[in-house]
């Protein structure tokens, strides 16, 4: 869209401006990218201009100016320069070709009049000095053939006054999108408009929202409507937006007021207040208390809970509009929780309450330890386990029984819970351990109230036999590119010192036999816990990992599945819409990827989500005609690319049009 606007400037701007002559004084301009010098004169093909700079110690050459000799050279220059002006410029072959043709026609002076820095720098009309910390008395001199220009001193950077010419007009929260409209005078339109967004309660600062804006003139023709459709919002989260207008150098010159709304149209009901959490009087759980600002507009109250402040909150209670207290009796002793309340009205929701912390501590027992493992170790048995939190944790006590009798006896005093890791260990070096016997172990957590948790799951060890190494777990896969996958697993060498390495196996999905797995490693992997594989596209594979020691090997890990279907293709670019008498034409640039077979077209309106309305094959013309629309409506269009493996790209940049 931004490229299209730029092309229209070049093609349609009327009038001719006069070039700057050598008699004129060069006016250096201090910009965020550097000192900008505009000759306002096209250099003759083959002519070289020498640029000199004087920082108070005499002139010295710092660069040259020259016209590009071919369209390819112009394209390369524009690509390089666009990196210095990322806010508004994306280079395409189409754009550089249009600019080249204009320099060969009677429209060449319009290029100078518009004053787009990337274009003028690429054509040799302007020069950019990127040196830093130049003194205020710095000046420049340019010589080109018989012509010479000399500038005034650059002086000090002047602060640009920011005005508020952009006025907020309308906001339309929808189920899966937020749509907003701003207005500004046509003659006050900045060169660049950028949307800034912040998620309230989540983001510290505003960030640029990477989405295209829609533009249309009002009925009177004196104002311009700027439309935003943010389809990346999440329901229940509060968002703030504002528009900032910039010049071609990226300097902010105007901005709008900040607006706020919640996705899902949760805007009209008053939120609860005075929200607190404490232990229930009867020690049955965590008690929540809150106040109501307007209980007559509330239909119900929803209580949400999460184990972490910034993770997904789950509804745990639905209460009546008169309730101002509730006890959460499903909490675990010693576990931490975060709570949030939302009041629901007849049609929509209030803003969520602040998130508060609650923890359930009483004389009840803690949660038991997990992941208990046992292995033979230096004349004894080494036990290792994990615990979920240090909250109210004093330590642990280890228990042991002979065989499977279930009669456990404590074999340790309190084992302190050192705060350097949530993984703990203990070595049982009891000299009374009998060779050839089977021992069963379990461990209990001890709270600061000296109350023990239930025993953990058991771990068993044959004290005499050669023990198998621990079976690998937490096997994960990560696609590095279209054809290569990374297989990783939990490195168990820290808890099982007998492990000397790992083997990785693979088989095609559908081969049910354990023998169907093929060993991929000729030698055990002894360094690291990763294996890279590239078996080829179009197949679904299973992978397992096996640990080995000096005398035995473990069982297979849980299998993981990998589909080699290739990455998502890039979405189509340069999407454009044109109104016809009874239809809308959508055009886009075709993909250069060879396996694209179909383009899908989607349409949304101010009140509806994007819906697929058609598709065309990749080898046909990249155009679609939408005849099923109503006059007076504002429509939003997107295009996706789909591969022969049925992998669809993300949606293209949004384009919009209002049917007259």
Domain locations in the chain as residue ranges: 2-150, 167-262, 273-359, 370-462, 476-563, 573-658
For residue 5, pLDDT beyond 50 = no
Instruction: Write the DSSP assignment of 131-180 as a string of letters.
Output: -SS--TT-EEEEEETTEEEEBPP--PPPPPPPB---EEEEEEE-SS-EEE
**Right CATH number for 273-359 from 2.60.40.10, 3.30.450.20, 2.30.30.30, 3.30.559.10?**
2.60.40.10
d(CA 635, CA 579): 11
Exposed, middle or buried: residue 638 (CB in 10 Å: 0-12, 13-18, 19+)? buried
499 and 548 in contact (C-beta within 8 Å)? yes
Instruction: Write the DSSP assignment of 23-76 as a string of letters.
Output: TSPB--EEETTEEEEE--SPPPTT-EEEEEEESSS-EEEEEEEE--SSHHHHHH
d(CA 317, CA 303): 5
| Predicted local confidence at residue 88, as pLDDT | 61
Structure tokens at 286: 């965590």
Task: Kindly state the average pLDDT of the residues 178-191.
Answer: 84
| Predicted local confidence at residue 537, as pLDDT | 66
d(CA 284, CA 280): 6
| Predicted local confidence at residue 361, as pLDDT | 62
Angle, CA 515 vertex, CA 511 and CA 518 arms, to 5° = 85
**Right CATH number for 370-462 from 3.40.309.10, 1.10.287.70, 3.30.70.920, 2.60.40.10?**
2.60.40.10
d(CA 34, CA 264): 45
pLDDT tens digits for 205-230? 999 888 888 888 888 888 888 888 88
pLDDT tens digits for 402-428? 877 778 999 999 999 887 788 999 998
First and final C-alpha spacing in the chain: 20
**Hey, what's the torsion of the CAs at 509, 512, 518, 524, to 10 degrees?**
100
Q: Which of 127-141, 554-568, 633-647 has the lowest mean pLDDT?
A: 554-568
Q: Crossing angle for the helix pair 93-103 and 71-82, nearest 10 degrees?
A: 120
Q: Which CATH class is domain 167-262?
A: mainly beta
Domains 167-262 and 573-658 share a fold: yes
For residue 65, pLDDT beyond 80 = yes
| Predicted local confidence at residue 523, as pLDDT | 92
| Predicted local confidence at residue 197, as pLDDT | 92
Confidence bin at 587 (pLDDT 50/70/90): very high
Percent share of the chain, pLDDT over 70: 86
Structure tokens at 551: 């005398």
For residue 633, pLDDT beyond 80 = yes
For residue 101, pLDDT beyond 80 = yes
Confidence bin at 655 (pLDDT 50/70/90): very high
pLDDT tens digits for 460-505? 887 654 567 888 999 998 888 777 889 999 888 777 777 889 999 9
Pick the residue with more confidence: 393 or 550? 393
| Predicted local confidence at residue 115, as pLDDT | 84
Is domain 573-658 in CATH 2.20.25.570, yes or no?
no
3-state SS class at 109: helix
Task: Kindly state the average pLDDT of the residues 245-259.
Answer: 85
Confidence bin at 639 (pLDDT 50/70/90): very high
pLDDT tens digits for 512-551? 556 688 899 999 998 889 999 988 766 788 899 999 887 7
Q: What is the DSSP letter of 408?
A: -
Residues 6+ apart with CB under 8 A from 500: 524, 526, 548, 549, 550
Structure tokens at 239: 């968002």
Task: Kindly state the average pLDDT of the residues 641-646.
Answer: 82
86 and 68 in contact (C-beta within 8 Å)? no
3-state SS class at 300: strand
CB atoms within 10 A of CB 365: 18
| Predicted local confidence at residue 623, as pLDDT | 93
Instruction: Write the DSSP assignment of 345-386 as a string of letters.
Output: -SS-BBPPPPPEEEE--SSSPPPPPEEEEEEEETTEEEEEEE
3-state SS class at 330: coil
If residue 655 lies in a helix (H) or strand (E), which one and from where to where?
strand 655-658
Confidence bin at 252 (pLDDT 50/70/90): confident
Structure tokens at 496: 């099982």
CATH architecture for the domain at 476-563:
Sandwich (2.60)
Pick the residue with more confidence: 456 or 162? 456
Q: What is the mean pLDDT of the chain?
A: 82
Distances (CA, A) of 16 to 101, 112, 187, 371, 612: 17, 9, 20, 79, 46
Report how far Cα 542 is from the mean position of its chain's Cα atoms.
30
Report how far Cα 5 is from the mean position of its chain's Cα atoms.
28
Pick the residue with more confidence: 566 or 115? 115
Distances (CA, A) of 308 to 304, 312, 419, 587: 12, 8, 20, 46
d(CA 172, CA 168): 12
Residues 6+ apart with CB under 8 A from 509: 540, 541, 542, 561
If residue 301 lies in a helix (H) or strand (E), which one and from where to where?
strand 300-306
């Amino acid at each position: 869209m931004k490229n299209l606007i730029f092309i229209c400037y070049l093609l349609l701007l009327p009038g001719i401006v006069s070039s700057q002559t050598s008699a004129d004084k060069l006016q250096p301009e201090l910009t965020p990218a550097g000192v900008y010098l505009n000759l306002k004169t096209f250099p003759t093909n083959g002519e070289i201009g020498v640029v000199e700079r004087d920082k108070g110690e005499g002139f010295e050459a710092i660069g040259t100016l020259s016209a590009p000799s071919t369209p390819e050279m112009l394209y390369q220059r524009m690509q390089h320069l666009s990196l210095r002006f990322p806010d508004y410029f994306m280079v395409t072959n189409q754009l550089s070709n249009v600019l080249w043709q204009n320099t060969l026609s009677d429209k060449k002076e319009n290029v100078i009049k518009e004053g787009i820095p990337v274009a003028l720098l690429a054509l040799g009309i302007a020069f950019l000095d990127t040196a830093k910390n130049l003194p205020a008395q710095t000046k420049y001199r340019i010589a080109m053939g018989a012509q010479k220009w000399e500038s005034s001193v650059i002086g000090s950077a002047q602060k640009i006054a920011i005005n508020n010419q952009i006025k907020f007009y309308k906001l339309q929260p929808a189920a899966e999108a937020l749509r907003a409209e701003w207005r500004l005078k046509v003659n006050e339109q900045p060169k660049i408009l950028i949307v800034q967004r912040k998620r309230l309660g989540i983001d510290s600062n505003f960030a640029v929202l990477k989405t295209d804006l829609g533009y249309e003139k009002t009925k009177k023709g004196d104002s311009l409507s700027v439309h935003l459709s943010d389809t990346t919002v999440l329901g229940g989260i509060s968002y703030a937006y504002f528009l900032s207008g910039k010049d071609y150098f990226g300097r902010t010159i105007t901005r709008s007021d900040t607006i706020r709304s919640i996705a899902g149209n949760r805007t009209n009901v008053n939120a609860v207040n005075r929200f607190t959490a404490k232990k229930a009087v009867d020690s049955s759980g965590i008690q929540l208390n809150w106040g109501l600002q307007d209980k007559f507009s509330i239909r119900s109250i929803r209580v949400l809970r999460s184990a972490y402040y910034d993770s997904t909150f789950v509804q745990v209670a639905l209460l009546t509009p008169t309730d101002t207290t509730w006890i959460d009796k499903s909490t675990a002793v010693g576990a931490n929780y975060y709570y949030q309340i939302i009041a629901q009205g007849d049609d929509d929701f209030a803003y969520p309450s602040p998130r508060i912390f609650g923890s359930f501590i009483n004389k009840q027992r803690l949660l038991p330890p997990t992941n208990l493992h046992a292995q033979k170790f230096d004349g004894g048995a080494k036990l290792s386990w994990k615990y979920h939190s240090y909250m109210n944790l004093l330590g642990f006590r280890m228990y042991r029984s002979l065989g499977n009798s279930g009669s456990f006896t404590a074999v340790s005093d309190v084992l302190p819970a050192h705060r350097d890791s949530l993984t703990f260990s203990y070595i049982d070096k009891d000299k009374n351990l009998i060779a050839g016997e089977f021992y069963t172990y379990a461990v209990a957590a001890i709270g600061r109230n000296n109350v023990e948790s239930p025993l953990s799951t058991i771990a068993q060890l044959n004290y005499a036999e050669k023990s198998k190494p621990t079976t690998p777990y937490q096997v994960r896969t990560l696609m590095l590119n279209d054809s290569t996958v990374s297989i990783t697993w939990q490195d168990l060498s820290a808890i099982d010192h007998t492990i000397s390495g790992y083997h990785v196996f693979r088989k095609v999905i559908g081969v049910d036999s354990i023998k169907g797995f093929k060993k991929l490693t000729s030698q055990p992997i002894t360094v690291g816990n990763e294996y890279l594989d590239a078996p080829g596209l179009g197949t679904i594979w299973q992978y397992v990992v096996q640990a080995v020691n000096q005398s035995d090997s473990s069982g297979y890990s849980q299998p993981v599945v990998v589909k080699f279907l290739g990455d998502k293709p890039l979405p189509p670019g340069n999407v454009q819409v044109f109104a016809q008498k009874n239809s809308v034409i959508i055009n886009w640039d075709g993909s250069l990827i060879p396996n694209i077979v179909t383009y899908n077209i989607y349409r949304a309106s101010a009140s509806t989500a994007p819906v697929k309305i058609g598709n065309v094959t990749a080898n046909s013309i990249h155009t679609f005609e939408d005849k099923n629309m109503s006059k007076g409506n504002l429509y939003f269009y997107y295009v996706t690319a789909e591969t022969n493996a049925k992998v669809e790209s993300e949606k293209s940049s949004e384009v919009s049009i209002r049917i007259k």
